[in-house]
Amino acid sequence: MNNRIDIRFPAKSENEALARLVIASFLSPIDPLVDELAEFKTALSEAVTNAIIHGYEEDEEGYIEVKAVLTGHYVQVDIRDEGLGIENVELAKEPLYSSKAHEERSGMGFTIMESFCDEVKITSQAGFGTVISLVKQFTPTASFSKVH
């Protein structure tokens, strides 16, 4: 099974739920395990929320693009913004680091993404935006093998 989807939406906090719903629906044909799907949706939420809060600093005029490619049980989802970008990606990946610590942010976004995905790639340039690629291999389920 191969499929792809591209969506674009305003950088509004309520659209984080939209991204989760769309990707969960996109993955439904492979009948993912509930725990794996929940983890991946959490990682996706972190990436979209980072774009809204850090990339655009909650300026709802910006847009977020989410592109997903599904090949068998392997998915790659790219979350792209054209916001502020990340000056130091390695520092941003450090657990508990937050550029908005004064706003009581936990600084665990990238740690959560890396915990729930097989691979997380971050490409960013200060002033030009960020692309976060989440990669996950889902466990084939019995119902998928029997039907397909």
**CATH code assigned at 62:** 3.30.565.10
88 is catalytic: no
Q: Report how many domains make up the chain.
A: 1
- The residue that leads in pLDDT, 124 or 106, is 124
Q: Which among 94, 105, 114, 119 is annotated as catalytic? A: 105
- Phi/psi zone of residue 96: left (φ > 0), alpha (ψ -120 to 50 degrees), beta? left
User: Is 144 contained in some domain?
Assistant: no
Per cent of the chain over pLDDT 70 is 84
Beta-carbon contacts of residue 34 (< 8 Å; ≥ 6 apart): none
In a domain, 55, yes or no: yes
18-27, 49-58, 79-88, 104-113 — most confident range: 18-27
Domain contains 61: yes
Task: Please check whether residue 147 lies inside any domain of the structure.
Answer: no
Percent of the residues in the chain that have a pLDDT greater than 90, as a whole number: 73
Which position among 15, 16, 20, 50 bears the catalytic label? 50
CB 79 within 8 A of CB 131: yes
User: Could you tell me if residue 15 is inside a domain?
Assistant: yes
Which domain, by its residues, includes 82?
A: 2-139
Respond yes or no: is residue 50 known to be catalytic. Answer: yes
Residue 144: pLDDT band with limits 50, 70, 90? very low
Q: Would 124 be classed as within a structural domain?
A: yes
Q: Which residue has the higher pLDDT, 30 or 91?
A: 30
Q: Examine residue 148 and state whether it is found in any structural domain, yes or no.
A: no
Given 15, 20, 46, 80, which residue is catalytic? 46
- Residue-level pLDDT at 142: 59
Task: Evaluate if residue 53 carries a pLDDT over 70.
Answer: yes
Per-residue pLDDT reduced to its tens digit, 65-92 = 999 999 999 999 999 999 999 887 777 7
The mean of the pLDDT values for the chain is 88
List the structure tokens of 40.
Answer: 């991946």
Residue with tokens 């774009």: 51
| pLDDT above 70: residue 14 | yes
**How much is the pLDDT for 92?**
73
